Each structure stands twice: as structure tokens, then as C-alpha cells.
Amino acid sequence: MLDMQHISKVYRTELVETHALRDLNLTVAEGEFVAVTGPSGSGKTTFLNIAGLLESADGGHYRLDGVDVGSLGDDARARIRNQKIGFIFQGFNLIPDLDVFDNVDVPLRYRGFAARERRARIERALELVGLAARQRHLPSQLSGGQQQRVAIARAIAGEPRFLLADEPTGNLDSLMARQIMDLLGEINRSGTTIVLVTHDPELARRAHRNIHVMDGEVTDLKPFAPRPAGAPVAVA
Amino acid sequence: MLGYYLKLAWLSLARTPAITALMIGAIALGIGATTTTLTVYHRMSANPIPARSSVLHAVTIDSWSPDRPADDENPADPPPQLTYRDALAVAAGAPAARTVIMRKTAMTVDPGAGRAPFLIEARLATRDFFPMFAVPFAYGGGWDAAADRGGEPVVVLSRETNERLFGGENSVGRSVRIDGREFRVSGVLADWQPTPKFYDLNNGAYDTAEDAFLPFALGAALELQPAGNVNCWKPETLAGLRDLLGSECVWIQLWADLPTAADVERYQAWLDGYVAEQKRLGRFARPSNNRLYDVEAWLRHNEVVGQDSRMLLAVAFAFLAVCILNVVGLLLSRFLGSAGASAVRRALGASRGELFRQHLVEVGLVGAIAGLGGLVLGWAGLKAVEQLYSSYDRLTQLDLTMVLAAIGLAVLAGVLAGLYPAWRICRVQPAAYLKTQ
């Protein structure tokens, strides 16, 4: 599904050169749930931005779903983001002017679905995250956990094959965080590949694999033993 | 997607009402000023008779003094009017489909029934005046050839005069007492106010059409004094109208209907021949300078739209440009202020083109609303012009063309103001905003 070879990324200012990623190699198979961990400044977010085609790598090769995305133009990358990738951000990134329904509708609009198809997908996604009754609420009228569930509904409404989550529980209390992680697990079991970026090792344990990034390099690839269904998870 | 973009635009405008009001106000102000000046300019420069303007020709002959030109500022130009005898000779001899000779006079109407007499402006013209200038009739029509020769005293009333005398009823065949004589009404005009008043620019291009129209021949027969411009160069004794008729003073307008280029050529040749003959008889000491102007050329020649009007229009557009520049700044701050939402859209799959179009629709909506506001301001500006210059009242009417032009101009102004801010926002790098949202 995701194949990164020798990926590097350098941020330059007039005075400083920061190597965010150095020779990063990573492969994620279809249907996997991978956690990427590491301390602040280790390059997790840069990895996520490159994986999600929000930024370009300076070196190396990146194939996503069999397509060499390194050479694609801006519009083609936007199209792939829209059709194949779902994003979940730590800060939810809902559009404050739009109600729940219209927020979930955003990627579907750019996908060109007909109105009836969009409505069906939005209702299905909101049903899945338990917010079917809140369609006309604005983000400011929802709790943090509810907002993150809207963001998840937005990410999955287009049925992407690949979900990227950046600290999805970072702004939530422990109970909410657990619900969100349960939801992500459920989405993964339905066949969606998930890459979760977190600095929390306990959350990372919910994934099939843990990839530890340090100073822009993968330092550890650690498979986890499958957790029994319903087992309690400690969250931050 | 247009409906979706309109919805987003409306939500965005409602989010920051103060900035929205500032932007709309700035564009509306510019559009208001532009609409006011453009409307006056549009009416000033309009072709008053588009269907016939290329076939109607004003006829001029340089019969002026051998010592100086008729117009010191434009020495090559012949005088704009003809002498009485030249007008009669040319009208009788020159080959034209139709010809009209005419002049303006003032008369007194006695409405009878104890009502007070009132003064009217009247046009003395030959009968082709009406078909040549496509004058619309509400009742009846012009007069016949016999009346043109000075037979029966007939009159055509304007709509307003008929309203005043007969309450707007069909008065054809009824009698009107003018200057102490009875005239039979042969026709009543429908509304007719050619703007500019191309057929006689001597008393102002935006003067109103006359209150009544009578056969040209009656002017000499009844010794009706001229009420238009009379210009003379030769020292002559002018004790009365009889003297004026035989003088070298110019005071008669002559128009010829010349449908084809060959007709114009033939007419010009005849005119040149006539002048040559008159020269042999000792008249026309100046070089032969006989000109035919179609309506649009005639309006240009007489500088109906002055340089100051063009300057005023340029100033109005410059003001609009300043307003647009201010709006560019406001839009930049507004769009960059919502860059986070644009970054989210980019992350979720919006292309740069889609974001660009979304923001252009928003500024287009601002422009359209400002256009409506600008129309109100423009209307107020026109009313102010009307109050200041009463003779401009027919130049200050907003027509559908100007309404559409104002709204179109406002949308264009909005889009122009939005091009750079929309371009900036569609180049937002989503990664830079998503973490900090």
C-alpha cells in the first residue's frame, strides 16, 4: 500500500538546515494498522505530511498504492488525497462555518459525487461515529470528542483505502481517547489501512506494528502481539 | 459547484460582517460615482436616431465673410446654418430623397375658455420633417404639400401641448388659436424627445423638442420672428423679417435624406455647382467649402460630448480603481485570515483551481451586492445632478442598459480586486497550517 525508500526531507532557512527525515525506509501492507512513534521533533509529522502528499520529499522514492507519487503535479496529488487518503488531525481541523453535515461533505464535493450519493455516504459515516442526530450542529456546539468523531466521519465518508491519523486523541480526555481508538480499530478491521502517528506508546500498542522514528530515521520496527478483543487499554 | 461556492461565499461574508460591509461600501461608492458619470455620458453620446443616422445629412455651405471665418477657433468649418435664400434654393434644386428646411420661432397660444394665454416654442419646417426624423404620432399626422406651400394654417402639437390644451384627447381636426389666428390640428405627437436634439443644436444639444410644429412657409407669410440663433457677418439693415429673408445672415437648418453613397456624391456635386454659380454672381467670396454630415458626424463636429465630460468619466473610473485597490487589501487580510480552512480543503482534495474559483465566486458575490448598492448611490448622484443642472434632466435617466452595466462593472471590479488575493490563497501550503489550526 505504502512504500517509502530512502526518503529525505530538509528544511532550510538562511541560517539553519534541519534534516527532518534522513534515509527513511518503510513499507505498509494493505489492511495494516501501523503506529509511528517517536519524541517531539523526531520527524513524525514530516513523515505524515509526505505520506499524505501534503509535502514532497527532497530525496528517495515513494509509491502509494502502486503509483510513483514523487513525480506527480499538484492537481494529481490533490486528486489522490481526495480519492485514496483520509486525514484525521490532532486539532480536528473542522471548518467552523460549516455544520457537521457540510464538514463531512467537503471531500465528497471535490470527488464529484451526485447529491444523493453524497447524502447517503454522509449519513452512513455519521451513523458509524454515532453523530447521526447532530448533522446540523456547528463544530463549536460539539465537545472535543464529538468534533474528532466528525473528523473521522469526514475521513471515512469517501471510503479511502488509506487513513492517516496525526495524534488523533491528543486533545481528548482518556475516555474519549479510548472511544476514538476503538473506532479506528473498527475502521481498520473493515479493511482500511491506517497509519497512526503518536508519541504515546500505549496508544501505539493498539496497532499491528510500531515504527519508532528518531532523528528522521526509522530505528525500530516492532510487531505487537494481537490484543484480545475488548481488552482494556491505558490511554494518556 | 457554483451553488456550493455561492453558499460558502455567503457563509464567509456573514462571518465577518464589518469587513464585508467595508468591501461592499468601497466598491459601491466607486460604482455609484461611475454610474452617475457613465449614465450622463452614455445619454450624451447616444445616437438619437440609430435607424436613420447614416442617411440623414446636415447640409452646410461656407457663405461667410471674405475677411474672416465663421468660427475663429475652427477656421476651416463652414457656418452651421444657411441663409434663407440658399436654404430655399438648395431644398428646391438639390437631388435628395427628402429634404427639410426649418427654423425655430416663439408663438402665443390662446387656450380659450377664460384660460390664460401661454408662450410656446414652435418649429417651422417643411412636411418631410416628420418622416425623415421618424417622429412618432399619437393621433393624425403631418400636413400635405398644399400646406407646405403656405395654404391652410395647420399645426402639429406635441403630446404635452395637446395635454395642456385638450386634456390629452384626440384633437385632430380641432382648432387652436395661435398668435391671434386659427390653426387646424393635423396631428399630435407621441412622446418624442431626441437626445441629443440633433436636428438643431443651436440652442443647446440637450434642449427639449418644440411644443408645436407648423409649415415653414407660414413663417414668411405671417412674419414670424426667429427664436433660434441668427448669425450675420455683412453690415446690412435688418428692420424686420423681410430684411432677414434677403440677408446674408445664417439662421435656417437644412437636412437631406441621402440613402446611398452615390446619393451623397450626387448631392455634394450639386452643392459645389450651386456655390460655383453663386460665386460667378458675386457671392461666396471664401473658398468653396460645402460639407455634408451624417448624424453621428454632425454630433462629433459640434462636440456634443465635450472634453470635460470625458475627463469627468476618466476621473470616475480612476476613483473606482482606488476603491478596488482598497478592496484588494481587505480581501487579502480576509482570505489569509481564513487560510486554515483553505488548507483543510487542500488537504481533503481541493485543487488550486477549485480554491481559486471558490474565492472568485465570493468576490463576485461581493461585487454583485456592491453593484446594487452602487446603483442606489448612482441614482442619488443622478438626482443631485438633476437638481444642480435642470437642463440635464433627460440625461439622468437610468435605463436597463446602465443598470446591467453598473452591476456587470461591479462584479468585474470585485473579481479584479479578488484576483491577486484568490491567487495567493490557492497557493497555500496545507502542511504549514494543519498542525496549528
Whether A141 shows a pLDDT value over 90: the answer reads yes
Contact A75 B353 (CB under 8 A): yes
Measured CA to CA, the distance from residue B104 to residue B225 in angstroms comes to 9
> Taking the CA of residue A19 as centre, how many other CA atoms within 13 Å lie in the half-sphere pointing to its CB?
11
B86 domain residue, yes or no = yes
Contact at CB, B344 and A95, closer than 8 angstroms: yes
Percentage of residues of chain A with pLDDT beyond 70: 93
CA-nearest of A220, A219, A218, A216 to A21 is A216
The SS3 of residue B221 is helix
CB contact under 8 A, B348 and A106: yes
Query: Do the Cβ atoms of B434 and A110 come within 8 Å?
Result: no
Chain A contact residues (CB < 8 Å to B): 45, 49, 52, 54-55, 74-75, 78-79, 81-83, 87, 89-98, 106-107, 109-111, 154, 166
Nearest CA-CA partner of A165 in A20, A52, A27: A52
pLDDT level of residue A231 (50, 70, 90 thresholds): very low
pLDDT for B15: 87
Cell (9 digits) for B177: 388659436
Strands A33-37 and B253-257: unpaired
What number of CA atoms fall less than 13 Å from residue B261's CA on the CB side? 0
The pLDDT of residue B435 = 64
Residue A116's pLDDT is 95
pLDDT of residue A40: 82
Q: What percent of chain B has pLDDT over 70?
A: 99
| pLDDT number for residue A227 | 46
Q: Are residues B31 and B125 in the same domain?
A: no
In chain A, what residues touch B8 (CB-CB under 8 Å)? 97
N-terminal to C-terminal alpha carbon distance within chain B: 26
Residues B295 and B384 reside in one and the same domain: no
- Which value, to the nearest 10 degrees, does the dihedral of the CA atoms of residues A27, A31, A32, A34 take? 90
The average pLDDT across B339-344 equals: 90
Q: β-strand B118-125 against B137-140: which pairing, if any?
A: unpaired
Q: Is B432 on the interface with A (CB under 8 A)?
A: no
Q: pLDDT at residue A221 above 80?
A: no
B352 touches chain A (CB under 8 A): yes
Tell whether B130 and B229 lie within a shared domain: yes
Distance CA A111, CA A104 (A): 12
For chain A, the domains span 2-223
Is residue B69 one of the residues assigned to a domain?
A: yes
8 Å CB contact of A81 and B348: yes
Same-domain status, B145 and B289: yes
- For strand B56-60 and strand B253-257, is the pairing parallel, antiparallel, or unpaired? antiparallel
Residue A225 has pLDDT above 50, yes or no: no
Compute the mean pLDDT over every residue in chain A, rounded to the nearest whole number: 86
Residue B243 and residue B82 in contact, taking contact as beta carbons nearer than 8 Å: no
At residue B153, what are phi and psi to the nearest 5 degrees?
-75, 110
Q: With an 8 Å Cβ cutoff, are A74 and B351 in contact? A: yes
Check if B43 contacts A (Cβ < 8 Å).
Answer: no
Option in A74, A93, A95 nearest B352 (CB): A74
* B52 pLDDT higher than 60: yes
**How far is the alpha carbon of B349 from chain A, nearest alpha carbon, in Å?**
4
Domain co-membership, B79 together with B149: yes
Does residue B323 share a domain with residue B212? no
User: How far is Cα B40 from Cα B402, in angstroms, rounded to an integer?
Assistant: 10
Same domain, B297 and B331: no
With beta carbons less than 8 A apart as the criterion, state whether B405 and B374 touch: no
User: What count of other Cβ atoms lies within 10 Å of the Cβ of residue B33?
Assistant: 22
- Higher pLDDT pick, B262 / A202: B262
pLDDT tens for B114-172 read 899 999 999 999 999 999 999 999 999 999 999 998 878 999 999 999 999 999 999 99
The pLDDT value given to residue A95: 93
Residue A230 confidence class, pLDDT cut points 50, 70, 90 = very low
B313 and B228, same domain (yes or no): no
Residue A234 has pLDDT above 60, yes or no: no
- pLDDT reading at B424 higher than 60: yes
Alpha carbon of B1: minimum distance to chain A alpha carbons (Å): 8
Residue B51 lies in a domain: no
| A94 contacts in chain B (CB < 8 Å) | 344
Is residue B39 helix, strand or coil? Answer: helix
Domain identity same for B208 and B61: yes
* Fold for the domain defined by A2-223: Rossmann fold (3.40.50)
Of A78, A97, A106, the CB nearest to B11: A97
Q: State the ipTM, two decimals.
A: 0.88
User: Are both B178 and B99 inside the same structural domain?
Assistant: yes
Residues B22 and B153 in one domain: no
Scanning the structure block, which residue is given the C-alpha cell 471535490? A110
A106/B354 CB distance under 8 A: no
Count of domains in chain B? 2
pLDDT band for position B297 (cuts 50, 70, 90): very high
CA distance A105 to A121: 9
Q: Is residue B50 part of a domain?
A: no
Chain A residues with beta carbon closer than 8 angstroms to that of B354: 110
Is residue B417 left, alpha or beta, with left meaning phi > 0 and alpha meaning psi from -120 to 50?
Answer: alpha
Let me know: does B201 contact B80? Beta carbons within 8 Å: yes
Q: A86: closest CA among A188, A173, A10?
A: A188
Using alpha carbons only, give the angle B252, B257, B258 rounded to the nearest 5 degrees.
Answer: 125
How many CB atoms are closer than 10 A to CB B239?
7
Between positions 9 and 28 of B, the ones with CB within 8 A of A are: 11-12, 15
> What average pLDDT does this structure show over B240-247?
91
Contact B121, B210 (CB under 8 A): yes
Facing residue for B349 by CB, picked from A78, A97, A98:
A78
* pLDDT, position A179: 82
Choosing from B255, B285, B301, the residue where a domain stops is B301
Q: Domain range holding B361?
A: 2-45+306-434
Which of B276, B301, B326 represents a domain boundary (last residue)?
Answer: B301
Residue by residue, DSSP assigns B155-191 as EEE-HHHHHHHHTTS--TT-EEEETTEEEEEEEEE-S
For range B385-398, the mean pLDDT: 77
| pLDDT for res A170 | 78
Q: Which residues contact A22 (CB under 8 A, 6 or more apart)?
A: A8, A215, A216, A217
Q: Is B358 on the interface with A (CB under 8 A)?
A: no
Provide the β-strand partners of residue A64.
A2, A67
Residue whose cell numbers read 465566486: B361
Place of cell 479506528: A184
Closest chain A CA to residue B11: A97
What is the band of A228 on the pLDDT scale with cuts at 50, 70, 90? Answer: very low
Give the pLDDT of residue A20.
Answer: 86
**Cβ of A97 and B15 within 8 Å?**
yes
Residues in Cβ contact with B78 at an 8 Å cutoff, skipping those fewer than 6 apart: B60, B61, B62, B63, B64, B70, B289, B290, B291
On the question of pLDDT at A235 being above 70, the answer is no
Closest CA to A103 of A118, A113, A81: A118
Each residue's pLDDT tens digit, A16-27: 888 888 888 889
> Of B248, B280, B301, which closes a domain?
B301
Q: What is the pLDDT of residues B178-221, one digit of tens each?
A: 999 999 999 999 999 998 999 999 888 888 899 999 999 999 99
**CB contact B350 to A (< 8 Å):** yes
- Residue B368: pLDDT over 70: yes
DSSP count for chain B of H helices, then E strands = 15, 10
